Amino acid sequence: MNAVAATALQRIRLHLARSKEFPEGSARHGYEFVAPLDARGHIDLEGWKAARAACLVTRFWGNDAPESGHLVHRAGGARGATWIFDYEEGTSEDDEAGYRFADHAFAPGEYVSLREEDGALHTFVVFSVVPA
C-alpha cells in the first residue's frame, strides 16, 4: 500500500456510548473529526503533521451550540504524548484529551474514551469512518 493511501484523511463520527445517564447511548452527544488513519485504523502521526490544518473537530452535545476546534498531538500523557481536541488555541483550559487514542483503531463499532475539560471521562462508540 502506498503512503498516500495509508494516510488518507477520514471523517470519524463518535456517539456517546451507554452510560448511567444515557442507558441507550446517544447519537445527539458526540464528536465528528478528521484525521489521517493508517491501514490498521490508527491515527497516523506523520500524516497528521502533513495535514494538521485539515484535522478539524466538531463537538455536538444535545441542545448546546456545537463547538469547533482542531485535533492536536501534544507532549505529555501516556507514552509522552496525547491526542487532544483543542477548541481555543493558546489555552489548554478547554482541551479534551483522548484516552490512549494512539492505541485505538478507529473503526465502526470500536469504543474510545475522552476526558472532558471538567475531568469527566466518557466512552464513545465509533459510529462511522468515511473518506473526508
- Give me the average pLDDT of each 10-residue run along the chain (132 residues): 61 96 96 96 94 97 96 76 87 80 93 88 96 95
Give the domain extent around 74: 9-131
Strand locations in the chain (E): 9-16, 26-36, 56-61, 67-75, 81-86, 96-99, 111-115, 121-131
Question: What region, left, alpha or beta, does residue 73 occupy, with left being phi > 0 and alpha being psi -120 to 50 degrees?
Answer: beta
Residue 58 lies in a domain: yes
| Structural domain count of the chain | 1
State the number of CA atoms in the 13 A half-sphere of 16 facing the CB: 21
Q: What backbone torsions phi and psi does residue 67 show, to the nearest 5 degrees?
A: -115, 140
The whole-number pLDDT of residue 83 equals 94
pTM here is 0.89
Q: How many CB atoms lie within 10 A of CB 47?
A: 20
Look at residue 63 and tell me if it is in a domain: yes
- 103, part of any domain: yes
